[in-house]
Structure 1
Amino acid sequence: MKFATVHAEGMQLYGAVVAEGFIALSPDFPDWPSLREVIAAGGLARLGEAAAGRAVSHPNGTFRYEIPVPNPEKIICVGVNFPDRNAEYKDGTAQPKHMSLFPRFARSFTGHDRPLIRPPENHTLDYEGEVAVVIGKPGRRIASENAYDHIAALTLCNEGTIRDWVRHAKFNVTQGKNWDNSGAIGPWLVPFTDAAQLDEARIQTRVNGELRQDDELSRMMFPIREEIAYISTFTTLVPGDIIITGTPTGAGARFDPPRYLKPGDLVEVEATGIGTLRNTVEDEA
């Protein structure tokens, strides 16, 4: 079962996605205003039960996707997390001792089938296809062997970046990673029920149909179990928090010359068992 947040008829709704469209379930659960509250209550299974056998309330084409978890408390991204990605820096360093982390704000993401926005200040908009995990069970100092117990669901991310702006300072990339609507999360949440959903997953990114990124999550330098353990050492993870787990080699900045996104481009991020996140590119109006 797949669960999404959508906008339809002037309202934000959550519910189930099926081949024919969307089944609105939020009216049935007034105590859970959004999927964030559903996740906190451990309610994804109840949503699945409520959707069983029901007809779509909104056929395809009558709604638009939002990011699945509205207003998460934290979105934390893991940088440079595949061996080939580390090698791109050509600085002669081996795997670092600790992972690189940075925050993103919810406003910097849009939903599935909606455009990434290239700002007028700078045109070095780049793509980064990634798997994202959504925390379901709160925790602090979580042991890596218990980390998967804290995941509620999986989704996809195109962690769009304004490359020139990540070079504005010596030690951080935050300002290049948080332009409004420069990235995307979605299309939906897939409940996490089996370690194989992550351990055997493959992530791919295509631009205008051309395969640009392709790797297996098992090759991450810092596996997702370690990401959850490390991050929860310094901050309490709460339901609805999103960890964006790292992108493979092949982003546009690493071509010679760079191949940045431009209006009219189509970017598709796909991962085993989750689906495909699709976005076009437009200039800011």
Structure 2
Amino acid sequence: MTRLAAFHADGQDRYGLVTDDGLIDLTPDFGDQYKGLKEVIEAGALKDLFVAAKGRTPDFTEDQVTYLIPIANPEKLICIGVNFPDRNAEYKDGTTDAKSYPSMFIRFPRSFVGHNEALVRPPESEQLDYEGEVTIVIGKGGRRIAKEDAYDHIAAITLCNEGTIRDWVRHAKFNVTQGKNWDKSGAIGPWIVPFTHPAQLDDIKLETRVNGEVRQQDRTGRMMYDFRYIVNYVSTFTTLVPGDVIVCGTPTGAGARFDPPIWLKPGDVIEVEAEGIGILRNTVRDEE
């Protein structure tokens, strides 16, 4: 599995190839051309990075780097809500039937941290929750993209823990923005995996664990709105551009749905895992 990561090491933001032994820094090779992985994707140059890394040994071990979110500055970071059948049934406000169109909202990059970093619980609320999700990165832009062409527009896939401050998503009707955008409340990563075949998305297992306990588990083949539909639908009302990030929905089992709810607390370890992508791991700390 080919993996490309953004990371910080020796006082500089970098990107490169992830191996079992560490990370190959490709910033010296391409940094003058491409500031980050978004710019690499915009140029259609992911393959150039693989070629440059061939036969090289790692420049950093994993404990020498701080992982960053893979795409630092997407033009759009769009999230799809309530996209698994059992997840839809969790809602007790009378809207238990699947709807014709997906729920959607926007997040800011500042609301995410990278792999192995701590999610931040703010002093205003203890209701920090987890949501494990498969995430796509657009490689070829377009408007009104046909469903049959959608996969041609995806450059890479990654994972998201779409961390949420639950009581703040209920501050107003039809408005979750304020509960979804607390600084460092979620995570994206640990890396991007180039998307080359439909089997990488069509029916893969997605699982979220908290302190080793499985809390969420489902398969993408059960999503109410599949990846092709999502690309088609989103591109109908807005032009997708290279580097756009779309977070595609979480299974049932978030902490809010337990009785009583189980909120994340400092010291917890959350792992989001999907077949063919990897494991996104984060801890929790209180805001300083």
Q: Say whether the fold is shared (TM-score over 0.5).
A: yes
- Name the counterpart of 2:172: 169
Deviation per CA, 1:198-231, whole angstroms, max 9, x where unpaired?
0121100000000000000010001111111010
Contact 2:90–2:96, Cα closer than 8 Å, also in 1: no
SS state of the match for residue 23, structure 1?
A: strand
Matches within 5 A, 1:47-58: 47-58=49-60
- Name the counterpart of 1:8: 9
The 1:23/1:191 distance shift into structure 2, 3 A limit, reads same
Work out whether 1:23 is the aligned partner of 2:24.
Answer: yes
Please state how far the C-alpha of 1:94 moved relative to its aligned partner: 1.7
Query: What CA distance in whole angstroms lies between the structure 2 residues aligned with 1:113 and 1:205?
Result: 15
Matches within 5 A, 1:1-285: 1-29=2-30, 30-90=32-92, 91=94, 93-285=96-288
Aligned positions, number: 285
SS state of the match for residue 58, structure 1?
A: coil
SS state of the match for residue 61, structure 1?
A: helix
When normalised by structure 2's length, the TM-score is 0.98
Query: What CA distance in whole angstroms lies between the structure 2 residues aligned with 1:88 and 1:60?
Result: 39
Query: What CA distance in whole angstroms lies between the structure 1 residues aligned with 2:254 and 2:178?
Result: 18
SS state of the match for residue 171, structure 1?
A: coil
Runs of 4+ in structure 1 deviating by more than 2 angstroms, as ranges, are 90-93
- How large is the RMSD of aligned CA atoms in angstroms? 0.7
Please state how far the C-alpha of 1:60 moved relative to its aligned partner: 2.2
Query: What CA distance in whole angstroms lies between the structure 1 residues aligned with 2:16 and 2:71?
Result: 12
Structure 1 letter corresponding to 2:46? L
SS state of the match for residue 64, structure 2?
A: coil
Query: What CA distance in whole angstroms lies between the structure 1 residues aligned with 2:259 and 2:223?
Result: 25
Deviation per CA, 1:176-212, whole angstroms, max 9, x where unpaired?
0000000000000000000000012110000000000
Query: What CA distance in whole angstroms lies between the structure 1 residues aligned with 2:97 and 2:129?
Result: 25
Query: Structure 1: which 5+ residue stretches go unaligned?
Result: none
Please state how far the C-alpha of 1:70 moved relative to its aligned partner: 1.0
The answer to which of 224-233 and 90-99 deviates more is 90-99
Query: What CA distance in whole angstroms lies between the structure 2 residues aligned with 1:234 and 1:261?
Result: 36
Please state how far the C-alpha of 1:20 moved relative to its aligned partner: 1.0
Structure 1 letter corresponding to 2:36? S
Query: Structure 2: which 5+ residue stretches go unaligned?
Result: none
Identity of paired residues, percent? 64
SS state of the match for residue 134, structure 2?
A: strand
The answer to which of 254-263 and 40-49 deviates more is 40-49
The answer to which of 206-215 and 56-65 deviates more is 56-65
Please state how far the C-alpha of 1:92 moved relative to its aligned partner: 5.7
